[in-house]
Amino acid sequence: MRLPVALSSGPLCIRKANDRSRSMTKEEHLKSELKRLSEEGADAVRRLTEPTPRHFALEEAPAVLLTEALLRLASLLGASDIHVSPGEENVLVRFRIDGDLRDHLSFPKEGYPAVCARLKISSGMNVAETHLPQDGRLSFSFYGKEYDVRVSSFLTIHGETFVLRLLVRDCPFTFESLGYRPSERAAVKRMLAKPGLVLITGPTGCGKSTTLACFLLMLATRSRHIVTIEDPVEYIVSGTDQLSLPSDGKLRFADALRSVLRQDPDILMVGEIRDEETARTAVRAAITGRLLLSTLHTSDAAAAIPRLRDLGIRDGFLADALSGVIAQRLVKRLCPHCRRPYMTDAKEASRLGLPEGTTLFRAAGCERCGGRGTVGRTAVHEVLEVSDRIRDGIRKGCSASELAFLAREDGMKTLRENAEALLLSGEIDKTEYCRVCGIPTEEEHEQT
């Protein structure tokens, strides 16, 4: 269902009531609206759970206004998720921004049933069902951007909790903005210019889907037939045929891939290789002259090879099919306006594997970054291009560490090396560096 959240019209148009409101930023307007809606008092809160009077337009009901204001503010702040969690007396609303959950609003629980009903109606859920988990979708537009929202609900001891995942319909990034070094950019372009299997690896939430969408945007031309199989479709990529797997599980990745192979595709994108059947079909498609893009959950690039072996792919087929693997992580970028330099002491330098006296930067917080000290995120990559030596190593059954050694000899920069470059340049702080590299934090180090 589409929510009426356009800027020029609708229930939450930014009101220019006085000179003070005219000078407020969009974020301040929405925060003020949320505060007003959540503090209307007992009468307004009771109105949420009462039947809407005939003279009172549904679009003006506080539950509707509150829901749409939350969506607007979340999109304005760049939040990826909205968490709506009931407690004993109040309902807490949190936004996930740059990977961190942050409190943004609390309102009386008395009016929560109306908010639940609004979320369910908007996302196509069963309003009467309160005990079983449900999934739904809705969409809205704000300042020229189209958003799809995946909504999930389940029952807790304090009531139904909701998580809303916000997805920008058109991918906001380009291949050039992904942060590859020149040599890595050239290697990725070589991988994408020929038939074969190209994998993006990393944990959930590391930007794999965004990277794949950027690749497809670069590859999409009228002379190529590109088909994607996703669960669900996250970004709309013009010039491609995108298949979203049904939520009932009746169509699996492997089944869809076999059907799509009969559609004469040049390039295929499979959202994730989850099982042996999908892996075998993907490898077979790559060997028969198609470029196939997909994802895996592995800790680094070389670990994708033993993972595919575990899924039943023989070394000979794997060596013939695989063109490259890209491992990635997302890290928070320090605000360039308020970051503060400092010099490491001997203890800290030793823990980080750096020379004593190395200049690093730490977050401070200012008006431009909202006091957070960070602004957005960037990706750290590890690009393993399958050379002839690595291909021979795969055929011989070499381990992940042996293949990683060969890749480093071929010039591959590891996740740690690329993260260190960002650390030394002041783009990230030591906390993000330690997280990517698996180095214990100061607190964890002291406990061991």
As a whole number, mean pLDDT of residues 175-204 equals 94
Spatial separation of the C-alpha atoms in residues 246 and 258, rounded to whole Å = 16
CATH of domain 32-168: 3.30.450.90
Q: Write down the pLDDT at residue 17.
A: 35
389: closest CA among 375, 368, 403? Answer: 403
Token readout for 361 is: 């930067």
Where in the chain are all domains bearing CATH 3.40.50.300?
175-444
Q: What is the pTM of this model?
A: 0.82
Asked if pLDDT for residue 175 goes beyond 80, the answer is yes
377-433 pLDDT tens trace: 999 999 999 999 999 999 999 999 999 999 999 999 999 999 999 999 999 999 999
**Which residues, 6 or more positions from 175, have their beta carbon under 8 angstroms from its beta carbon?**
185, 214, 215, 217, 218
51-62 pLDDT tens trace: 443 333 334 457
Which of 3.40.50.300, 3.30.200.20, 3.30.10.20, 2.40.50.100 is the CATH number of 175-444?
A: 3.40.50.300
CA 359, 408, 437, 182: dihedral to nearest 10 degrees? 60
308-322 pLDDT tens trace: 999 999 999 999 999
Where in the chain are all domains bearing CATH 3.30.450.90?
32-168
